């Protein structure tokens, strides 16, 4: 820290401030001399023994370069002190220019983009719909049936193919009598009604039996991934080899134990499933109303944002997408470069995210909102319920400062949402369990 640092500020605009920084030359000279003497002790220069190079020789040969290095280091070490001294809310990296030695001072200018000071508008005009749902007995039964389907097996049958059956078959496709790449396969397995094939293919197979052969006509979609097949009509010769029908596992002790139920049977499984579903809709409802309120807030507040903030958010979203691609398709994340995912792909969402971040920050500051630590504790406890050892998870989130800070940010966002809801108009709408989950999932995409 340099207490004798002289800093003046000039506000260029609501997004940019220019600082003029003066550093006493004595600071520069002492550092230059120190480095020159240090170099003289270690330099290897023809005609001199190591450690015996005259300081005057080092000063003459390297003094200018060393001075420039020191100046660069001093600027690096003082610019953020200068920003802090003027209480400037800087974003991004300062732009340094007009560096000069003047009247016993090193003088430079640092231009910084600043955190926007905006007046949050339209809070009382927010009018959103809040979706609410309850978990019915039918919902629980459907969920248990889905759990059975996830573990279903298939057994051979003699009858016709219907939705849900699995077929093993060969197929050979052609367009105008000519085969095409990727249009043939042997021993292909397909669950009828899964939607894996192009429209019309699976419907054309319905009613076929093992040992039957049939040619069906289908048309490739106009937006099909292979451009040479888009909109083309094709013939597929299909030979069914085997037909299997799904068999759900029985609701017995063995099935219950798959979900950690060792006592209480079906009733206990239903109770556990209901508890999980209720936790899901609680989280879904939180996300749905948050998204609705934040969308309404951003819509009523359009303003320019610092380029640095936008650039940082674009890069954050790009890296997030790269990680998703790498996890989904495999491969090294480094192979997904900016040329594959250009800035333009993220600009709209990044601008929205930056504006929202500014607005939320302004609300927190103006309303004096503080993180409710009791809610943080409850949030962590609810999160831990999803794990086998809740106590271990609670300890992790409680004692890991980075993770706890992340939870605190989420809780504080919820408090902002509650403030906005209290100031605006919210209409509750009863929806089905699945519809609420779908709405929340869509909002997060």
pLDDT tens digits, 355-373: 999 999 999 999 999 999 9
Give the C-alpha separation, 317 to 346, whole Å. 7
pLDDT in tens, 373-392: 999 999 999 888 888 788 99
Give the C-alpha separation, 159 to 396, whole Å. 55
With a cut of 80, say whether residue 239 has pLDDT above it. yes
Least Cα distance to 385 among 394, 377, 376 occurs for 394
pLDDT band at 231 (very low <50, low <70, confident <90, very high): very high
pLDDT in tens, 120-134: 999 999 999 999 999
pLDDT band at 104 (very low <50, low <70, confident <90, very high): confident
Give the C-alpha separation, 55 to 49, whole Å. 13
Distance of CA 62 to the CA centre of its chain: 49
Which residues lie across from 234 on neighbouring strands? 218
* More confident call, 414 vs 43: 414
% of the chain with per-residue pLDDT over 70: 91
Least Cα distance to 307 among 95, 123, 122, 125 occurs for 95
What pTM was computed for the model? 0.73
pLDDT in tens, 199-217: 999 999 999 999 999 999 9
Give the C-alpha separation, 220 to 106, whole Å. 71
Residue 126: phi and psi, rounded to 5, are -65, 125
Q: How many helices (H) and strands (E) does the chain have?
A: 12, 11
Q: To 5 degrees, how large is the angle CA 245–CA 250–CA 254?
A: 130
pLDDT for residue 55? 63
Segment (H or E) for 94 = strand 90-102
With a cut of 60, say whether residue 444 has pLDDT above it. no
Which residues lie across from 91 on neighbouring strands? 113
With contact defined as beta carbons under 8 Å apart, do 385 and 378 qualify?
A: no
pLDDT band at 13 (very low <50, low <70, confident <90, very high): confident
179: number of Cβ within 10 Å? 11
For all residues of the chain together, what is the average pLDDT?
A: 88
């Amino acid at each position: 820290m340099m207490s004798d640092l002289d800093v003046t500020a000039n506000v260029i605009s609501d997004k940019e401030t220019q600082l003029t920084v003066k550093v006493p030359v004595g600071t520069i000279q002492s550092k230059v001399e120190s480095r020159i003497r240090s170099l003289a002790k270690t330099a290897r220069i023809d005609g001199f023994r190591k450690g015996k190079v005259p300081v005057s020789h080092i000063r003459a040969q390297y003094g200018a370069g060393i001075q420039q290095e020191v100046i660069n280091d001093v600027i690096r070490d003082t610019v953020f002190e200068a920003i802090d001294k003027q209480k400037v809310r800087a974003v991004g990296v300062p732009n340094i220019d007009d560096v000069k030695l003047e009247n016993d001072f090193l003088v430079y200018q640092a231009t910084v983009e600043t955190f926007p000071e905006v007046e949050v508008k339209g809070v009382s005009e927010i009018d959103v719909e809040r979706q609410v749902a309850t978990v019915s007995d039918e919902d629980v039964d459907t969920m248990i049936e889905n759990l059975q389907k996830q573990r279903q097996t298939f057994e051979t049958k003699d009858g016709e193919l219907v939705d849900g059956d699995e077929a093993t078959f060969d197929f050979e496709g052609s367009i105008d009598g000519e085969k095409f790449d990727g249009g043939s396969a042997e021993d292909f397995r397909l669950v009828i009604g899964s939607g894996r094939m192009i429209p019309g293919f699976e419907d054309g197979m319905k009613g076929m039996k093992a040992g039957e052969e049939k040619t069906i006509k289908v048309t490739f979609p106009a937006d099909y991934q292979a451009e040479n097949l888009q909109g083309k009509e094709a013939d597929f010769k299909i030979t069914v080899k085997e037909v299997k029908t799904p068999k759900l596992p029985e609701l017995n002790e063995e099935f219950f134990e798959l979900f950690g139920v060792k006592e209480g049977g079906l009733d206990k499984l239903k109770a556990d499933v209901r508890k999980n579903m209720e936790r899901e809709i609680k989280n879904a409802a939180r996300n749905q109303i948050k998204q609705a309120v934040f969308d309404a807030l951003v819509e009523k507040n359009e303003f320019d944002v610092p380029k640095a903030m936008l650039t940082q958010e674009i890069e954050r979203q790009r890296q997030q997408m790269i990680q998703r691609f790498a996890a989904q398709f495999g491969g090294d994340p480094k192979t997904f470069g900016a040329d594959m995912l250009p800035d333009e792909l993220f600009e709209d969402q990044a601008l929205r995210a930056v504006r929202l971040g500014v607005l939320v920050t302004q609300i927190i500051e103006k309303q004096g909102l503080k993180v409710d630590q009791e809610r943080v504790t409850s949030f962590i406890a609810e999160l831990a319920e999803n794990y086998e050892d809740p106590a271990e998870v609670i300890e992790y989130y409680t004692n890991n400062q980075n993770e706890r800070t992340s939870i605190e940010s989420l809780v504080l966002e919820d408090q902002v949402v509650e403030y906005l809801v209290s100031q605006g108009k919210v209409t509750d709408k009863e929806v089905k369990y699945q519809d609420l989950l779908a709405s929340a999932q869509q909002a997060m995409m």
